Amino acid sequence: MLRVAIDAMGGDHAPQVVIEGAVSAVQANKGKLEVVLCGPESLLKQELENAGYQGDSISIIDAPDVVAMDEHPTEVLRKKPNSGLVTCVALQKKGLVHASISAGNSGAMMASCLMLLGRSTDTFTRPPIACAIPTAKNRTVLVDAGANIDEKASVLVDFAIAGSVFAESYLGYENPRVALLNMGEEEKKGPVVVQEAYQQLKNTSLNFIGNVEGRGLIAGDADVIVTSGFTGNVVLKMLEGFYELHQSLFGTIDSPEGKRFAEMWDYRSTGGALLLGLNGTGVIAHGCSDARAIEQAILSASQFAETKIAENVGKKLADFKRS
């Protein structure tokens, strides 16, 4: 039985959509999944009743403090220990749940995971965000999707190692093709830090296929795209923007390709983004998540925990440091 804790007050449409998403998730995975809602107990009880849920796969942990989107991450941890956000991580620290999710203040979620779960490796100052993005072919792992800035080359190499584990464990890719996002395919292209990372990646045992450009990223030419958190965030938001534009102009096109596109490119189907390099499974969901997005985030979080990505990333990074 996998147990996932979620910040019931996190996100633009909380708590309603969190509860609806949790109900859908446990109903689709009876006997395999439990969800722990963390937030103000009486409110959540009422909402759960409103949603008509009668089963015993959802429980509530009282966490009355509410975190605002603009609160400073470390202050949240200090001043709001009884918030849904901090509580869902604290439960994991105590071994009571296998994964923790928030669609709220993502900086505070990162800080809470970092401080409470701790680093599995000292290689990352901040845990990079891994996200399974849509492409013209299959999903590709994007790392870092927006946690870090101004990374050194060695940090990009560690993103590559962690992203490769994610692609293997979560997406089931054998020997995933790892690429650096760059402004040309040649070895000597791009910022100095990317060129340095290229040289370092050549000397690892990863299946490093070199540089891909933005076009190759969309075409699905790599299984893992390694880039700075800055560029990764631009990429992620552009993918969302393109899907939105497409839907606003054309809606879901009534063909097998149209349905596949709408399914894969809808950010709500992506599930949550995983923080890598922690002793545990911390998941960030989209702030504007609806019930379907929350359901997917819960399902992906349980799979992240089940496939032991956190442990595997820690091990693999340690192996690389030793070798």
Binding site for a second copy (CB under 8 A): 136, 146, 149-150, 181-184, 190-192, 194, 213-219, 228-231, 233-242, 244-246, 248-250, 253, 255, 257-258, 261
Nearer to a second copy, 2 or 273 (CB): 273
The nearer residue to a second copy, 134 or 314, going by C-beta atoms, is 134
Least Å from the CB of residue 110 to a second copy = 14
Query: In the numeric block, which tokens belong to residue 243?
Result: 């899907």
> Which residue matches tokens 């800055």?
230
Nearest approach, Cβ of 290 to a second copy (angstroms)? 17
- Strand runs (DSSP E) across 79-206, as ranges? 99-102, 129-133, 140-143, 177-181
Is there a contact between 131 and 142 (Cβ–Cβ < 8 Å)? yes
The answer to whether 272 and 283 are in contact (CB under 8 A) is: yes
In whole angstroms, the minimum distance from the beta carbon of 4 to a second copy comes to: 27
The structure tokens listed for 295 are 């359901």
Q: How near is the Cβ of 229 to a second copy at its closest, in Å?
A: 7
Residue 202 or 237 with smaller CB distance to a second copy? 237
* Residue closer to a second copy (CB basis): 86 or 236: 236
Q: 43 vs 288, which CB is nearer to a second copy? A: 288
Burial (Cβ within 10 Å: 0-12, 13-18, ≥19) of residue 320: middle
Q: How far is the CB of 245 from a second copy (least distance, A)?
A: 5
Yes or no: say if 272 and 294 are a contact pair by the CB < 8 Å rule. Answer: no
Q: How far apart are CA 9 and CA 40, in angstroms?
A: 8
